[in-house]
Structure 1
Amino acid sequence: MLQLIKSCMLTAVFVSFAFVLHAQNLLKGTIKDSHGNPIDNATVFVDGTKLAISTNSEGQFSIQIPDGKTKITVRAVGFLTAKKDLAATEYQNGFEIVLDSDNRNLEEVVVSGTLKQVSKLDSPIPVEVFTAKFFQANPAPTIFESLQNINGVRPQINCSVCNTGDIHINGLEGPYTMVMIDGLPIVSGLSTVYGLNGIPQALIERVEIVKGPASTLYGSEAVGGLINIITKSPNNAPRLNVEAFGTSWQEYNLDLGGKFEVGSAQSLVGANYFNYANPIDNNGDNFTDVTLQNRLSVFNKWNFDRKDNKLFTLAGRYVYEDRWGGEMNWARKYRGGNDVYGESIYTKRWELMGAYDLPTTENLTFTFSVNGHNQNSVYGETKYLADQKIAFGQLTWRKELGNHDLLTGLAYRSTYYNDNTPATINSSKTHLPGFFVQDEITLHPQHKLLLGARYDYNSVHGSIVSPRVNYKWNSLDKTQVLRVGIGNGYRVANVFTEDHAALTGSRDVTFEEDLKPETSWNGNVNYIKKFYMDGGSVFAIDASAFYTYFDNKIIPDYESDVNKIIYSNLDGHAVSKGLSLNLDWAHTSGLKAMIGATVMDVYSVENDVKEWQMLTEKVMGTWTIGYTVKPLGVNIDYTGNLIGPMRLPVLGENDTRPDKSKAWSIQNIQLTKKFHNGLEIFGGVKNFLNWTPTKGGIEIISRAHDPFERIDDPNLLPFDPSYVYGPNQGARGFLGLRYNLM
């Protein structure tokens, strides 16, 4: 027995000694502001490496420092960057760094505008950045819903039955926006409607949004702008993070994330599960108000250490979703039949993406993404079976020559698509090789000029050229920034994969001609001004003006024949123009506010007749107002949006429903309690005004009592669920928890 005790003691001493040796390079610290408040989400970089980590809600961090590295850099939005030389004692005892407020600099690092990491201030392209903390003010199970409080960006529900939708940017529909993960395209074609679901939000570092054409760098689908979802690096992600919440509608969402190491490789893994299985019919039309959903998504990202800090990262994602909406008595046995109406969609999607710096003295990087999307769906008795596979590869070369920062690239994308509609009697394959060049010229420390052009050859539509010019000026004290840009974009449309209305309801789809690619020219002006007030508060103005002119625009015609949806290229032109204003204010007392508004006019002109675009508002507003009760450690967040009237797809003269919606607003309130051990409890009420499109007794789904149109009455409207312009879900309470183990 004594020998056993001695052996255990020796083992304990050995383990402790090994732990001490290992911990010699473990650096711990706390980051605070000048008032002694902890700064969460500050980033600590190890100089000379790519190692970085973010502080938790208490401003704390811990990171392994390689031998020989004795300097760190600390950055946080709204503060001066700090550098520190490390003493040996600080490895063991930890230390504290105080950051001074600096509202002159825009320190956020962005990549979406120019394909390189630069501060938001230095980017010639206006890029809006939204951190994970912004989305936590109104937690949602999908990034699709999370975008509802961003000015100029609106999630649009396109179907009252299955609730699929897309993202509108400055009035332009979802197919005009490219969605990416870590700078690589993931959403196009089929996944335009479904691809924003199932991205584990616990793994999102930030979301970058570019409003305006980005086709010069990113090609087709980037006409209206792009949304780039940046995931956390395994280096700065927490070891474990959990977020779970449920609502009074019996919606349940779970996000799990964590990281681990295998040799010199670091891995980030996450999963999202969402379930809603409680049919509700508050508006009394015998149809589900919200689709029932069962969704699982798994994400895994790897970073591999290489010599000279060369980049090598791989990531993959798999999504499975089963959703249905329809008559309240629908069951799986009715799928695809004409006994009980239901829309049932099975989605399987996989993605693989990566980036690799070539082992050369030149800055050569190869990036790639491949994805497959399979959809098995029925809309009543109409079946839609589709399969899509996309492969994308790009080789870029960056070179600095004097005041020129050159970027060139070779790109290739292959798209395979097949479905059971008349549009693809045989499967279609599209090849899209391309070449782009960009020159960012520093004319003066205050002046930058960006020149770029892209050439693509579409195997179906031929050559396409997309140029752009951007100019940036900033004041000496960096409190003012002016950006001006003009660019060209193009888009090749695929109706059945992008427009859900072509499949749902009883209308026939008609093509008057072979659809040509849409082309556009866009101009935009962006101005930012920051003010410093007594007491350390900050006030910022971000104003933009935009104008986009379209040729060959494809606008579905719902009105010429109530039994058809007619697709053709516009014989004329279309315009999207407007003004956008964001106000951002933060006070040292703990009060902060972000308020925005956009006024726009989106219309088409054909045969000298101007027509307001369907389902597009002329004005919208958003706000996120937060206050921290510091003695209690409680955050109060009040978020919301206000959407102005929009033109609605009425079904001819017999349709008594309004052809224009009234203004509407979704408003939310949330309380969050933070604890010292990394635990947060949050809860509140979503849509506490209880707004839905059916307020006032409006019938959203026409002929809901006879979806298969068995009643022979020519005076009845056709069955159609496309008369929808906002979420059909009323007030609901929610409660959740969030835990981060650094």
Structure 2
Amino acid sequence: MSMSSRPVRQRRAGASGLACALFAVASTLVALALAVPTAAQTPPSAADPIPADDDVALTIQGRIVDESGRAIPYADVAPAGSPRSVRADADGRFRLAGLEAGVVTIIVSAHGYGAVEVEIEAGAEAPPLAITLALDPVALDAITVTGTMKAASVSASPVKVNVVPQSVLQRNATNNLVEAISYVNGLYQQVDCGVCYTNNLRINGMEGPYTAVLIDGMPIMSSLASVYGLNGINPALIQQVEIIKGPSSTLYGSEAMAGVINVITKDPRFTPRLALDASGTSDAEGNVDFAFSTEPGDVSGFISGNVAYNSRFVDDNGDGFTDFPLNRRGVVFAKMDWSPEGRRRTSLTTRYLHEDRFGGVEAWTAADRGSSNVYGESIRTNRLEVLGAYLPSWSADIRFEGSYAWHDQDSWYGDSSYDASQHIAFANALWGRMVGRQDLLIGATARYQTYDDNTPATVRADRRFIPGILAQNEVRLADGALTALGGLRADHHDKHGVIASPRIALKWDATGHTAIRLNAGTGFRVVNLFTEDHAALTGARDVVIASELAPERSWSVTLNLNRIVEFGPSPMMIDLDLFHTRFSNRIRPDYDVDPNLIVFDNLSGHAVSRGISLAFNQNVNFDRLLYSAGVTLQDVYLMDAEGAREEDFFAPRVRGVFSASYNMRSLPLTVDYTGSVTGPMRLPSYDEPFARPDRSPVYSVHNTQATWRLEDGAALYLSVKNLFNFTQPSPLIDPANPFGDAFDTAYVYGPMRGRHVMLGFRYGASR
């Protein structure tokens, strides 16, 4: 099947989807407007007592302080083994309601302090608690929910979770999620097109489609959305990002082969009343984020907007094309929480995105869209997300969740049209309870998705209904030194029957400062070729599908050693990871069989991604100096049935990341430095006269930022991106003839955007 000159199948426009989008956004905005309390509706503070009677759930109240007795604001408080959590107010006071009488264990954590577990007696006459947290120089023991779907401190979780809080994201200011977390050890941003800049995140050498991207725990980032949608998630909305590097199919679906990236958005109960973040660059790129929140009460919420634009044509490499795409993006985000008397919690989140992206030659105008006269790639995206969660008052053990996502992409790659739409509806019902030493979790899921496009490969819309059940049990043995977790998920696919995804995890606290974790599991994935491999849509190579593609399967194992090394008051944390994933039925593009073709087929043998990763970080003198560094060595290869081994494309053998942050005491100034070093990787080959090296050189990218803190939560920041101005040569093959047979856009291994300066202002007025 050739895609160089495609007949276009008409697809019905997404008018109904747009109507749903506008209705959902309007509904949320109205709800938020009604949530603003009047003078006669003064909301109770977090510290107000709740009368205890037979009709009101039992409540724990208290205050969180440091060792000197000063309040710790906005600490997280959660019942152990529960998906629920609350956050203390600015004075450290909290109220945790809806508890059953008896002995309850709660986890309390705050950034910069060690998490503690407190065992208390919940009763009608329980006095207010005073909880003291000690400074933790390592400062990484936050609360996470991604590893087990239940609240747990990072150090106690049997599954290794990397937590990236917003304070870390702000050290290298950017307006998209991919760039923000690409400096996490083991993650690598791969750019798939040198014209439109579609990208994905590799985890431990495995490509982006093998990673489940969640928003507040909901799997709403579809294969179509991941092509450009990750760039539309703005870091200003994020409370923290939780990353699991390893198999997670039992909890998040069989496609979470490489791991999970869970984006936790801000809690409306604790966001500033007014927030603003505006920045501009020397390349005439601009970004503005703003947010407004209601007064806290039974109903709280916030509305946020983002406008990003880049309208300056830059062609420093002289190939006649944009070095990075021009775009206009607008995002509206609204989130609401309902917690009547603290006894239950319902949340509703809505996000709508519109983006108009262009890459191509300078002479292109909107009138040339779809023509063969002037080359341009024009992608117009509309996306709606709606998420909801409900914790019923009649049971503290049950949680209901649901989400809906609509994604519409109207695009032209030169004179080739790609018009696609995808709808995904997801529902989750979870029950969890501590029974003795057993921490049980049982759930049922249902996922319905539709996909349609105008390519000849999609004769009719693809519709899939995938119900599933899951069960997980976590138990502590050997007086708590050993934690064992086992889980099993079963999903039913229309074409493939019941797919089982088992998982095991073990954590052994060898000493007070040493923990060892083992995580193993399987994966299963149905590939949607044209949403996942951009080379099938752009360039002049014809696409050939050699046979009916079978689903990919995998099994994975990761081993983590975590060690805290004492250096007086400034201990160092060290992480050593080993990982190994083996694929069967791996679907791969073959660029070498013919320079004019991309041939897709299941691998007759197997594929392997394996390696070792080392990372360390240290907080010196209580936030005076923070630094971290990490390196990942990986071997990603394919082996056919005859035993012939072939290195995979675009998978660097070695990559290192590093960062340092210095807080001056004499001045309200913080200086940050972030960088990476990327080793050689295999690249596609081309015939003369367009031959290129088949391996990339070693290169490094460096960024620096200075932040001047002002009064009332305001700050000015100045960043220099790509400090030493490294860029690769033009990634385009035969750019002078973009409609010709040799034109290709896939030869991308390094940055295409040179040194540029960003100046920004950040403001967040507290409640």
Give the alignment's TM-score, normalised by structure 1: 0.88
Structure 1 residues without counterparts, runs of 5 or longer: 1-16, 56-60, 85-95, 710-716
Alpha-carbon distance, 1:655 to partner: 3.7
Cα distance in 2 for residues equivalent to 1:339 and 1:494:
31
Alpha-carbon distance, 1:263 to partner: 6.5
1:206-221 correspondence runs (5 A):
206-221=240-255
Alpha-carbon distance, 1:149 to partner: 1.0
Aligned position for 1:58: none
The answer to whether residue 682 in structure 2 is matched with residue 658 in structure 1 is no
Question: Which of residues 670, 680, 683 is equivalent to 1:645?
Answer: 680
Distance verdict in 2 for CA 1:317–1:82, change over 3 Å: same
Q: Which amino acid is 2:602 matched to?
A: N
Does structure 2 retain, via aligned residues, the 8 Å contact 1:280–1:289? yes
Aligned position for 1:461: 496
Aligned position for 1:701: 732
> For each residue in 1:493-527, what CA deviation from the matched residue of structure 2 results, as whole angstroms up to 9, or x when unmatched?
00101111110111111111111111101011001
Distance verdict in 2 for CA 1:392–1:249, change over 3 Å: same
The answer to whether residue 700 in structure 2 is matched with residue 668 in structure 1 is no
Alpha-carbon distance, 1:191 to partner: 0.7
Aligned position for 1:724: 748
Distance verdict in 2 for CA 1:503–1:570, change over 3 Å: same
Does structure 1 retain, via aligned residues, the 8 Å contact 2:246–2:519? no
> For each residue in 1:297-355, what CA deviation from the matched residue of structure 2 results, as whole angstroms up to 9, or x when unmatched?
11111111146632311111101000000011111110000000000000000011111
Aligned position for 2:601: 568
Q: Which amino acid is 2:583 matched to?
A: F
The answer to whether residue 314 in structure 2 is matched with residue 280 in structure 1 is yes
1:327-476 correspondence runs (5 A):
327-361=361-395, 363-444=397-478, 445-475=480-510
Aligned position for 1:294: 328
Does structure 2 retain, via aligned residues, the 8 Å contact 1:26–1:63? no
Aligned position for 1:496: 530
Q: Which amino acid is 1:631 matched to?
A: S
Does structure 2 retain, via aligned residues, the 8 Å contact 1:504–1:720? yes
Aligned position for 1:173: 207
Cα distance in 2 for residues equivalent to 1:182 and 1:366:
13
Cα distance in 2 for residues equivalent to 1:165 and 1:66:
42
Alpha-carbon distance, 1:25 to partner: 6.2
1:14-93 correspondence runs (5 A):
43=75, 51-53=86-88, 75-80=109-114
Aligned position for 2:36: none
Does structure 2 retain, via aligned residues, the 8 Å contact 1:418–1:428? yes
Distance verdict in 2 for CA 1:112–1:44, change over 3 Å: closer
Secondary structure of 1:473's match?
A: strand
Cα distance in 1 for residues equivalent to 2:477 and 2:117:
29
Give the structure, 1 or 2, with the largest relative contact order (CA under 8 Å, sep 6 or more).
2
Does structure 2 retain, via aligned residues, the 8 Å contact 1:202–1:257? no
Does structure 2 retain, via aligned residues, the 8 Å contact 1:106–1:119? no
Alpha-carbon distance, 1:128 to partner: 0.5
Cα distance in 1 for residues equivalent to 2:196 and 2:154:
39
Distance verdict in 2 for CA 1:104–1:596, change over 3 Å: closer
Alpha-carbon distance, 1:245 to partner: 0.9
1:211-250 correspondence runs (5 A):
211-250=245-284
Alpha-carbon distance, 1:236 to partner: 1.7
Cα distance in 2 for residues equivalent to 1:45 and 1:361:
19
Cα distance in 1 for residues equivalent to 2:477 and 2:108:
29
Does structure 2 retain, via aligned residues, the 8 Å contact 1:200–1:299? no
Alpha-carbon distance, 1:362 to partner: 6.1
The answer to whether residue 294 in structure 2 is matched with residue 260 in structure 1 is yes
Aligned position for 1:553: 586
Cα distance in 2 for residues equivalent to 1:702 and 1:417:
32
Secondary structure of 1:195's match?
A: helix
Cα distance in 2 for residues equivalent to 1:235 and 1:20:
15
Alpha-carbon distance, 1:33 to partner: 6.9
Does structure 2 retain, via aligned residues, the 8 Å contact 1:158–1:725? no
Distance verdict in 2 for CA 1:66–1:526, change over 3 Å: closer
Cα distance in 2 for residues equivalent to 1:313 and 1:255:
22
How many percent of aligned residue pairs carry the same amino acid?
39
Cα distance in 1 for residues equivalent to 2:267 and 2:351:
15
Distance verdict in 2 for CA 1:39–1:624, change over 3 Å: farther
Cα distance in 2 for residues equivalent to 1:244 and 1:265:
29
Distance verdict in 2 for CA 1:573–1:583, change over 3 Å: same
Distance verdict in 2 for CA 1:322–1:265, change over 3 Å: same
The answer to whether residue 212 in structure 2 is matched with residue 188 in structure 1 is no
Does structure 2 retain, via aligned residues, the 8 Å contact 1:31–1:39? yes
Q: Which amino acid is 1:666 matched to?
A: V
Q: Which amino acid is 1:257 matched to?
A: A
The answer to whether residue 636 in structure 2 is matched with residue 605 in structure 1 is no
Cα distance in 2 for residues equivalent to 1:724 and 1:138:
23
Secondary structure of 2:236's match?
A: helix
Aligned position for 1:737: 761
Structure 2 residues without counterparts, runs of 5 or longer: 1-38, 50-61, 100-105, 119-129
Cα distance in 1 for residues equivalent to 2:351 and 2:440:
33
Does structure 2 retain, via aligned residues, the 8 Å contact 1:291–1:323? yes
Cα distance in 1 for residues equivalent to 2:399 and 2:109:
26
> For each residue in 1:181-228, what CA deviation from the matched residue of structure 2 results, as whole angstroms up to 9, or x when unmatched?
110012121011122122232221100000111111111331111100
Does structure 1 retain, via aligned residues, the 8 Å contact 2:142–2:154? yes
Greater CA drift, 552-561 or 648-657: 648-657
Does structure 1 retain, via aligned residues, the 8 Å contact 2:247–2:258? yes
Cα distance in 1 for residues equivalent to 2:477 and 2:232:
44
Does structure 2 retain, via aligned residues, the 8 Å contact 1:51–1:235? no
Cα distance in 2 for residues equivalent to 1:102 and 1:676:
26
Aligned position for 1:544: 577
Does structure 2 retain, via aligned residues, the 8 Å contact 1:271–1:299? yes
Alpha-carbon distance, 1:21 to partner: 11
Q: Which amino acid is 1:684 matched to?
A: S
Does structure 1 retain, via aligned residues, the 8 Å contact 2:87–2:94? no
Aligned position for 2:667: 632
Alpha-carbon distance, 1:292 to partner: 0.2
Alpha-carbon distance, 1:358 to partner: 3.4
Alpha-carbon distance, 1:22 to partner: 8.0
Cα distance in 2 for residues equivalent to 1:501 and 1:147:
25
Does structure 2 retain, via aligned residues, the 8 Å contact 1:203–1:257? no
Distance verdict in 2 for CA 1:702–1:545, change over 3 Å: same
The answer to whether residue 179 in structure 2 is matched with residue 155 in structure 1 is no
Does structure 1 retain, via aligned residues, the 8 Å contact 2:107–2:152? no
Q: Which amino acid is 1:226 matched to?
A: V
Distance verdict in 2 for CA 1:53–1:520, change over 3 Å: same
Aligned length: 693
Cα distance in 1 for residues equivalent to 2:550 and 2:580:
22
Secondary structure of 2:527's match?
A: coil
Distance verdict in 2 for CA 1:21–1:604, change over 3 Å: closer
Aligned position for 1:201: 235
Does structure 1 retain, via aligned residues, the 8 Å contact 2:247–2:519? no
Secondary structure of 1:720's match?
A: coil
Does structure 2 retain, via aligned residues, the 8 Å contact 1:75–1:81? yes
Alpha-carbon distance, 1:592 to partner: 1.1
Distance verdict in 2 for CA 1:179–1:104, change over 3 Å: closer
Alpha-carbon distance, 1:101 to partner: 2.5
Secondary structure of 1:506's match?
A: coil
Alpha-carbon distance, 1:529 to partner: 0.7
